């Protein structure tokens, strides 16, 4: 088949490579000057930075992990790091996840967290129903102490909305429940580890996270057209037309609100649903520092409190690969979410970010030799209470329309790049079946 893929992020490039292996004639149309999307990196004055906050390679799926490492030129072209993440809790460094680090809090906070946790635990065991909103879910799952001391301030900082107006269903798979024995052990000072699936991670030695997408496009066997904004897609005859060129099949990976006006057949009610899918944006502040001693062996730090500045997560990015900073230097990424109100070129605001990190003990402001920032309009999915119903209608329309759509914002799934690759594998299977049978059944993704 002659197939057009809209968007050259990891989703589009991964699928293109897979379909080319199956001997399809594949074209990727990417609006910007190069592939990468949210996985892009950039080089400035000898430093390398990821553009959309710190990215790491890890996956619960061994095949996907291997596929991603292969695209980096094999594990030998990556750095493998044992994850060391902490929460900056007032003047303390508390291991992450917070519940596994509870023994590092003050005794008073430890007791508040544990008594609240036990109360919540008993509530759940005696049938307290899972709340539909995220604010109440935090109390139900973690109890009042954990909520007050970390979960509520941290999530307020990221989501920028009243947590009781957010849905809870999306957290279920993302926040695994730690065994209560682990939390009790942590509370009495015996360290335990949470999120074991992510205890080590990989990162390309050279070129930042983007190297993984570049390696996907290189010798991928498909036609890549950059600087090619897709501005007209429609069905024509038995196939499709994209920017005037005929194709047998169209797969979209572009954020739905950015492609909605371009696809002719979308009905008015589905258009309205897509227009209501507002993204949460992210300014990623890129900071180069001159060092008089190596950075501590940390991966990233969560910053829940307002006196730490607007940053919610600071990445020790030169620890991912020593080639991310010139000799004698280090670099950080500071992530700040917003809803369209911040500007990445506001120097005063950027200095405020640095001042916050200085107060939090992450860096010293006099060390800073480079300060830049990058805005990412589509970073997080706004999980309001209507989101699930709205996106279900949108996906249902696409899956039955003959168009295929997937990707973090192409399907609005809160996915990391490994899950985008997994989805690409599933879409490839769907296309294989369709090509073999000639029957275009609706797309069904698990
Ligand atoms: C803060 C943050 C941290 C993250 N951390 C990690 C991590 O540690 N590990 C990990 O694996 N993942 C991480 N992710 C997730 C990861 O970035 C995404 O899952 C992945 O990059 C999504 O890829 P995509 O191809 O689906 O979408 P995108 O990367 O958004 O690609 C869409 C592409 O469509 C293009 N486009 C837009 N409009 C048009 C048009 N009209 N015509 C043609 N092209 C168009 C865009 O330019 C873009 O290249 C993180 C994400 C964020 C925001």
Could you identify the residue written with the tokens 């997408």?
213
pLDDT of 178: 81
pLDDT of 198: 73
Residue of 4, 5, 9, 410 with the most ligand 1 atoms within 8 Å of its CB, for mutation: 9
CB of residue 40 inside a 6 A radius of ligand 1: no
Distance 375 CA to ligand 1 centre (A): 13
The CATH code of the domain at 2-35+209-278+384-437 is 3.50.50.60
Cα gap 396→415, rounded to integer Å: 19
CATH 3.50.50.60 domain residues, the chain: 2-35+209-278+384-437
pLDDT of 440: 78
Cα gap 68→48, rounded to integer Å: 20
187-230 pLDDT, tens digit per residue, is: 999 987 776 667 899 999 999 999 999 999 999 999 999 999 99
The continuous run of DSSP H or E covering 48 comes out as strand 47-50
Residue of 252, 280, 417, 424 with the most ligand 1 atoms within 8 Å of its CB, for mutation: 417
Distance 237 CA to ligand 1 centre (A): 32
Instruction: State which ligand 1 atom lies nearest to the alpha carbon of 258.
Output: 38
pTM here?
0.96
Q: pLDDT band for position 179 (50/70/90)?
A: confident
CB of residue 83 inside a 6 A radius of ligand 1: no
266-283 pLDDT, tens digit per residue, is: 999 999 999 999 899 999
CB of residue 38 inside a 6 A radius of ligand 1: yes
Cα gap 329→319, rounded to integer Å: 11
58-108 pLDDT, tens digit per residue, is: 999 999 999 999 999 999 999 999 999 999 999 999 999 899 899 999 999
- What three-state secondary structure class fits 152? helix
Which sign does the torsion angle of CA 104, 105, 107, 112 carry? negative
pLDDT of 62: 96
Distance 38 CA to ligand 1 centre (A): 3
pLDDT of 50: 98
Mean pLDDT of the chain: 96
Query: Taking 90 as the threshold, does the pLDDT of residue 144 lie above it?
Result: yes
- Whose CA is closest to 280, among 104, 408, 105, 432? 408
The CA distances from residue 50 to 31, 324, 335, 383, in Å, are 19, 10, 11, 25
pLDDT of 193: 75
User: In 3-state terms, the chain is what percent helix, strand and coil (to 5)?
Assistant: 40, 25, 35
pLDDT of 195: 66
Does 116 or 437 have the greater pLDDT score?
116
Cα gap 22→431, rounded to integer Å: 10
| % the chain with pLDDT above 70 | 99
User: Is the distance from CB of 174 to CB of 396 less than 8 angstroms?
Assistant: no
The CA distances from residue 199 to 80, 97, 195, 196, 202, in Å, are 11, 11, 7, 5, 11
287-325 pLDDT, tens digit per residue, is: 999 999 999 999 999 999 999 999 999 999 999 999 999
């Amino acid at each position: 088949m002659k197939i057009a893929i809209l968007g050259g992020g990891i989703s589009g490039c991964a699928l293109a490579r897979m379909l080319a292996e199956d001997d399809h004639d594949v074209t990727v149309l990417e609006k910007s000057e190069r592939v990468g999307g949210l996985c892009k990196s950039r080089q400035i004055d000898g430093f390398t930075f990821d553009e959309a906050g710190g990215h790491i390679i890890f996956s619960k799926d061994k095949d996907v992990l291997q596929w991603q490492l292969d695209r980096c030129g094999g594990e030998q072209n990556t750095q493998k790091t044992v994850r060391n993440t902490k929460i900056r809790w007032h003047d303390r460094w508390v291991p992450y996840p917070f519940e596994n680090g509870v023994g590092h809090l003050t005794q008073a906070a430890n007791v508040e967290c544990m008594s609240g946790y036990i109360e919540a635990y008993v509530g759940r065991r005696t049938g307290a129903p899972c709340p539909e909103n995220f604010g109440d879910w935090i109390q139900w799952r973690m109890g009042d102490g954990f909520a007050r001391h970390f979960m509520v301030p941290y999530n307020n900082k990221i989501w920028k909305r009243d947590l009781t107006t957010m849905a809870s269903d999306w957290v279920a798979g993302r926040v695994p429940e730690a065994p209560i024995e682990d939390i009790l052990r942590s509370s009495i000072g015996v360290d335990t580890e949470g999120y074991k699936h992510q205890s080590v991670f990989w990162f390309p030695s050279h070129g930042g996270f983007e190297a993984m997408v570049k390696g996907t496009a290189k010798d991928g066997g498909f036609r890549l057209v950059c600087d090619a904004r897709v501005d007209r897609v429609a069905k024509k005859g038995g196939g499709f037309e994209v920017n005037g060129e005929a194709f047998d099949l169209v797969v979209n990976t572009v954020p739905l609100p950015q492609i909605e006006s371009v696809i002719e057949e979308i009905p008015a009610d589905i258009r309205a649903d897509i227009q209501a899918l507002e993204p949460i944006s992210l300014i990623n502040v890129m900071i180069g520092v001159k060092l008089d001693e190596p950075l501590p062996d940390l991966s990233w730090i969560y910053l829940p409190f307002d006196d730490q500045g607007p940053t919610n997560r600071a990445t020790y990015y030169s620890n991912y690969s020593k080639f991310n900073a010139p000799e004698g230097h280090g670099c950080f990424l500071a992530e700040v979410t917003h809803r369209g109100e911040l500007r990445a070129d506001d120097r005063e605001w950027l200095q405020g970010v640095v001042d916050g990190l200085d107060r939090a003990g992450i860096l010293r402001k006099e060390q800073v030799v480079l300060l830049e920032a990058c805005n990412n309009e589509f970073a997080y999915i706004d999980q309001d209470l209507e989101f699930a119903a709205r996106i279900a209608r949108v996906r249902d329309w696409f899956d039955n329309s003959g168009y295929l759509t997937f990707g973090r914002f192409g399907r609005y799934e809160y996915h990391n790049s490994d899950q985008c690759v997994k989805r690409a594998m599933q879409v490839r299977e769907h296309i294989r079946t369709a090509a073999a049978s000639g029957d275009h059944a609706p797309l069904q993704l698990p």
